[in-house]
Chains A and B, each alone.
Chain A
Amino acid sequence: MFWPLLALALLLLFDYLFTPGFFRLELRGGNLYGSRIDVLNQGARVMLVSLGMTLVIATGGVDLSVGTVMALAGTVAARLLVVDGYGFIAAVSGALGIALLAGAWNGVLVAYFNIQPIIATLILMVAGRGVAQLVSDGQIINFNDASMVFLGNGHFFRLPFTLTIVLFVFVGMWALTRQTAVGLFIEAVGDNPVASRYAGVNARLVTFLAYLLTGLCSGLAGLVASSNIKSADANHIGLYLELDAILAVVVGGTALTGGRFYLVNSLVGALLIQTLTTTMYARNISADIAPMPKALVIIAVCLLQSEKARRYLNQRFTRHQSAALPAITPSRAQP
């Protein structure tokens, strides 16, 4: 929790000092606007996906198909609204339905057929965009249904409505994992699958559930993403978002090897990544080279989390200190 928060604070401090206008907040039409609000609004997608991704990673797996599932959900909703003339409720239900189906597909492949998560979800990652193209007939579908547009652009209590969605999903996920034993089982299965099975944990069900929930989260993120731009573009919605989501989870301290997971920390990680992105835009860094500074910051956070790197830095530090002050015995870092 500490390191990603520290990194976020440092980054915000940097923006406060060096990025003009980043901390400006305006009240327009009764709603707040500004870079920091942008971070929250744009970050909603990564936050939503990273909540699901946290569970999948905690089981020791990974879901590469989240970006594709976003595109699927977005195009299904747009098609139902525009091409088939259904209402908002039907469109959202259809989109979330297909997202759940996608999650279930991944879950079955991983949990019941024991296919390696990377491979199992890679299949959908690649094939799913094709399905989305079929759904949209290869067209970009534009829509202007008021409710649908509100999802990604509306305001609630002066803040973007997307935040309400994130909050709602977070509370739901927290309740589902921490108010039941699902969270404990996920951590047990991720930490030691064999021992968990011997202890009577239904490892398959738990793993399946993690992928199913990730599907749902990705579906919601897809709805938000397409609502943001009032259209569904099967090729571009959620492109490379799996990377941001995985990074958010890892930066948040959930190990890729599975085990302990931290939902709140993943949200902080997602915010860190979005703040980076927004900072880059605010400083007019071209989108082509933007990934590079982003990668540097993320590597720094990951190194800070690594015991080994910390110990190394610590030793360097104490050695310098003891060289400067020979009278003081150097204290050793605890492992």
Chain B
Amino acid sequence: MDKAPLLEIRGLEKSFPGVQALQGVDFTVGRGEIHALMGENGAGKSTLIKVLTGVYNRDGGESRFEGRSIRPRSPREAEEAGISTVYQEVNLIPHLSVAENICLGRQTTRLGFVRWHAIRKRAEKALHRLDLTLDTSRQLSSCSVAIQQMVALARALDTSAKLLILDEPTSSLDEREVAELFKVMRKLRGEGMSIVFVTHFLGQVYQVCDRITVLRSGKHVGEYATAQLPRMELIARMIGKDVTEIEKMSRSRDRQPAPLSAQPFLQVTNYGRKGSVCPMDLAVRPGEVVALAGLLGSGRTETAKLIFGADQADSGEIDIEGRPVTIRSPRDALRYRIAFTTEDRKVDGIIPNLSVRENIVLALQASRGPWARMRRPEQNALAGRFIKALDIKTPGPEQPIKNLSGGNQQKVLLGRWLATEPKLFILDEPTRGIDVGAKAEIEKLIDALRKQGMAILFISSELEEVVRASQRVVVLRDGQKIGELTGDEISEQTIMRTIAAPTTDSEAVHPAQL
């Protein structure tokens, strides 16, 4: 590694209308190292990567790859130069086979005809490099998210890459899958490949990275060897505060016991849907946070969708404040003052081309119906209030929401629902893919809402977060409720033990088999 670095970026500049996204950023990646790119949302990580891979044009600066100056105009040009990227959202085509996805756009052909056999062989080889054996003729959408991620990785590696960029690859993986990914990353490093790793999970950085570059508000803060930068220092660099302040922030909150005597706002009995959620009982009281914990695919999101009416239940009853009701659509749920922020912001959260203001007023306007339009001053006031209260970083309320960073989009969506003054707030992975600072803010917000007497159903893959935020934890596995923890029982160990415990009811059937 004492040779010249693989990638050297100097003084990179990039601005968008109203925002200077990168200001003279330096970034160096050595040969055969795993290099973490860290920073809060909006720090410029994604922009840096997109400039590097040719998605955006740069405004200024120099980048040298293997000693040569490069300036890719498209991701394809970057790939040809030896820089491959796996993006945060899996960018594959669900209806094609695994093999087709790996080789798409660079199929082996003879006389213009696709050679399927060669393609399958090539795909198998690429997967083998990741220690993965898989039927490559399988349709991609039938694979789990983790496998899809691996396929995306295999696709990136298929192009004889020298530098691999992984943009938030772990945000939809569970712990075992993350461990698998890390094994692969270390193997690739052993083969001499360099990897740029973008993540929000601090723990993962310390598990796998050699060096760390920190960005803040579009500027280069510093480059450090991982071993020489303690966690607290890293957070401090990222958010630009000093260490003592952070320790105050992250000190665990007092856990008030759940007021079990109170009447639940929501009580579902024997509620279920064939093929996704086994009939279950669940109650959420005003002023408490109930968390749904479990591995990915354990039915957390499905349960939330059922309660919200996005999917329809086919068994059981639901009571709101003691009265039986039926909820068959999100509009019904809205009427009973239930709010729901979804797991996948991009697919079922934001309305990308509409403004921040329109995204904020949408749910409240929907609950009032199409004819009672909110006047513009009222809309402006509402948007302004939430932009300020939630500290949404946007050039203005008329900015299309797609131009905001992930964390700020999430805050807009929280604002959209808070505007409807919900009594039950279902939050599905509200902190996924957003930075430490925004994460802390959202956790604080959840606690504040709880203290105001809101009932909250909270879903998160991060056990740490579940433990910090909730008064009660409902543990799910395979679409089934397998346990409930309250008060002092709640800890990462007990949750994991519950998930790992053998099923008491040996006759339990997987819901997919019903």
- A residues apposed to B, CB below 8 Å: 179-182, 184-185, 187-188, 191-192, 194-202, 205-206, 259-260, 332-335
A-B contacts, 13 listed (Cβ < 8 Å):
A181-B370, A182-B370, A184-B361, A184-B373, A198-B349, A199-B416, A200-B333, A200-B363, A259-B353, A259-B354, A334-B16, A335-B56, A335-B57
| Nearest CB on B from A71, distance (A) | 31
Whether A191 contacts B363 in the complex (CB less than 8 A), given A200-B331, A202-B331, comes out as no
Whether A194 contacts B348 in the complex (CB less than 8 A), given A200-B366, A201-B362, comes out as yes
Q: Which residue of B lies closest to A259 (CB)?
A: B353
Whether A184 contacts B358 in the complex (CB less than 8 A), given A192-B350, A192-B352, A196-B351, comes out as yes
On whether the beta carbons of B352 and A332 are closer than 8 Å, the reply is no
Determine the distance from Cα of A260 to Cα of B355 in the docked complex, in whole angstroms: 11
Determine the distance from Cα of A325 to Cα of B362 in the docked complex, in whole angstroms: 51
Determine the distance from Cα of A181 to Cα of B351 in the docked complex, in whole angstroms: 15
The answer to whether the Cβ of B17 comes within 8 Å of any Cβ in the partner chain is yes
Whether A198 contacts B330 in the complex (CB less than 8 A), given A181-B373, A206-B370, comes out as yes
* A-B contact number at CB 8 A: 91
| Nearest CB on B from A33, distance (A) | 42
Whether A198 contacts B340 in the complex (CB less than 8 A), given A181-B371, A185-B370, comes out as yes
Whether A185 contacts B366 in the complex (CB less than 8 A), given A195-B348, A195-B350, A199-B330, comes out as yes
On whether the beta carbons of B17 and A200 are closer than 8 Å, the reply is no
Determine the distance from Cα of A198 to Cα of B352 in the docked complex, in whole angstroms: 15
The answer to whether the Cβ of B488 comes within 8 Å of any Cβ in the partner chain is no
B156-189, CB < 8 A from A: none
Additional 4 contacts, C-beta under 8 A, given A198-B349, A200-B331, A200-B366: A188-B358, A191-B354, A195-B350, A200-B367
Chain B, interface residues (CB within 8 Å), range: 35 or more
Q: Which residue of B lies closest to A197 (CB)?
A: B330
Residues of B within 8 A of A200 (CB): 330-331, 333-334, 363, 366-367
Residues of A within 8 A of B363 (CB): 199-200
On whether the beta carbons of B57 and A202 are closer than 8 Å, the reply is no
On whether the beta carbons of B354 and A187 are closer than 8 Å, the reply is yes
Determine the distance from Cα of A206 to Cα of B366 in the docked complex, in whole angstroms: 11
| Nearest CB on A from B140, distance (A) | 20
On whether the beta carbons of A180 and B371 are closer than 8 Å, the reply is yes
> Which of A181, A199, A205 has the most CB atoms of chain B within a 10 A radius of its CB?
A199
Residues of B within 8 A of A187 (CB): 351, 353-354, 358
Residues of B within 8 A of A205 (CB): 370
Residues of A within 8 A of B16 (CB): 334
The answer to whether the Cβ of B310 comes within 8 Å of any Cβ in the partner chain is yes
User: Which one of A181, A192, A259 contacts B365 once the chains associate, using CB atoms below 8 Å?
Assistant: A181
On whether the beta carbons of B374 and A181 are closer than 8 Å, the reply is yes
Residues of B within 8 A of A185 (CB): 365-366, 370
The answer to whether the Cβ of B501 comes within 8 Å of any Cβ in the partner chain is no
On whether the beta carbons of A195 and B373 are closer than 8 Å, the reply is no
| Nearest CB on A from B19, distance (A) | 12
Determine the distance from Cα of A259 to Cα of B400 in the docked complex, in whole angstroms: 12
| Nearest CB on B from A270, distance (A) | 24
On whether the beta carbons of B352 and A202 are closer than 8 Å, the reply is no
B113-146, CB < 8 A from A: none
Q: Which residue of A lies closest to B417 (CB)?
A: A199
Residues of A within 8 A of B58 (CB): 332
On whether the beta carbons of B353 and A202 are closer than 8 Å, the reply is no
The answer to whether the Cβ of B508 comes within 8 Å of any Cβ in the partner chain is no
Determine the distance from Cα of A179 to Cα of B308 in the docked complex, in whole angstroms: 30
Whether A184 contacts B365 in the complex (CB less than 8 A), given A195-B349, A200-B330, comes out as yes
On whether the beta carbons of B351 and A180 are closer than 8 Å, the reply is no
Determine the distance from Cα of A3 to Cα of B229 in the docked complex, in whole angstroms: 54
| Nearest CB on B from A174, distance (A) | 13
The answer to whether the Cβ of B347 comes within 8 Å of any Cβ in the partner chain is yes
Q: Which residue of B lies closest to A196 (CB)?
A: B351
The answer to whether the Cβ of B194 comes within 8 Å of any Cβ in the partner chain is no
Q: Which residue of B lies closest to A311 (CB)?
A: B57
Determine the distance from Cα of A181 to Cα of B17 in the docked complex, in whole angstroms: 29
Residues of A within 8 A of B471 (CB): none
The answer to whether the Cβ of B342 comes within 8 Å of any Cβ in the partner chain is yes
Determine the distance from Cα of A259 to Cα of B353 in the docked complex, in whole angstroms: 7
On whether the beta carbons of A188 and B57 are closer than 8 Å, the reply is no
Whether A196 contacts B353 in the complex (CB less than 8 A), given A202-B331, A332-B57, comes out as no
Determine the distance from Cα of A141 to Cα of B347 in the docked complex, in whole angstroms: 53
Determine the distance from Cα of A142 to Cα of B141 in the docked complex, in whole angstroms: 60
Determine the distance from Cα of A214 to Cα of B378 in the docked complex, in whole angstroms: 31
